[in-house]
Amino acid sequence: MKLREIGFADEAACIADVTQLAKGCRAGGKWSLPQACWHLTFPIEKSLADPGIAQPTPEQRKMQGFIDQVIASGWPAGAPAPEAMIPPRDPGPNTAETLIASLRRLQATTLPRVNAFVFGPLDTAKFRRFALIHAAHHLSFFEPV
């Protein structure tokens, strides 16, 4: 299966795609749709849970360079997932709904900064862009039927 060429202008566009895929899709990658949804939900929930520290550590600042690279050039092929974000074999039946709820929380947040998981404190607008590029990468492996 050829990957879909998709991008999301905002959370609403991503929600619409997840909603469509949840009705039925063909997978073209290693993960099922529930696994991909679990994986995409994880960093959003972690980032919205705690605003965290005001300044990134030197290690986080270095990691933030990856975000800048992704925003500038797209998701790099073969980038490994952090171990904590590798989905379980069976993440459960409601992962699409959980991802949609997380995207709605991200869309509604008024926080100027989030604590973006391994990346540390980050402007919310930059995190949104990164999260949507991340979602487009993983959801491109699924084709609605």
Q: What is the CA angle 46-51-53, rounded to 5?
A: 110
pLDDT of amino acid 93: 87
Q: What is the pLDDT of residue 5?
A: 94
Residue 3 forms part of a structural domain: no
**pTM for the full predicted model:** 0.94
Does 117 have pLDDT greater than 90?
no
3-state DSSP assignment of residue 51: coil
State mean pLDDT over 89-95: 94
Asked if the structure places residue 71 within a domain, the reply is yes
Please report whether residue 5 resides in a domain. no
Full residue range of the structural domain in which residue 77 is found: 11-144
How confident is the model over 88-95, as a mean pLDDT? 94
Q: Give the residue-averaged pLDDT of 78-95.
A: 91
pLDDT tens-digit series, residues 34-74: 999 999 999 999 999 877 677 899 999 999 999 999 999 99
Q: Is residue 140 part of a domain?
A: yes
Q: How many domains does the chain have?
A: 1
128-to-18, 22, 90, 117, 142 alpha-carbon distances in Å? 16, 22, 27, 13, 22
pLDDT at position 13 over 90: yes
- Structural Rg of the chain based on CA atoms: 15
Residue 64 lies in a domain: yes
Whether residue 139 contacts residue 6, with contact meaning beta carbons closer than 8 Å, is answered with: yes
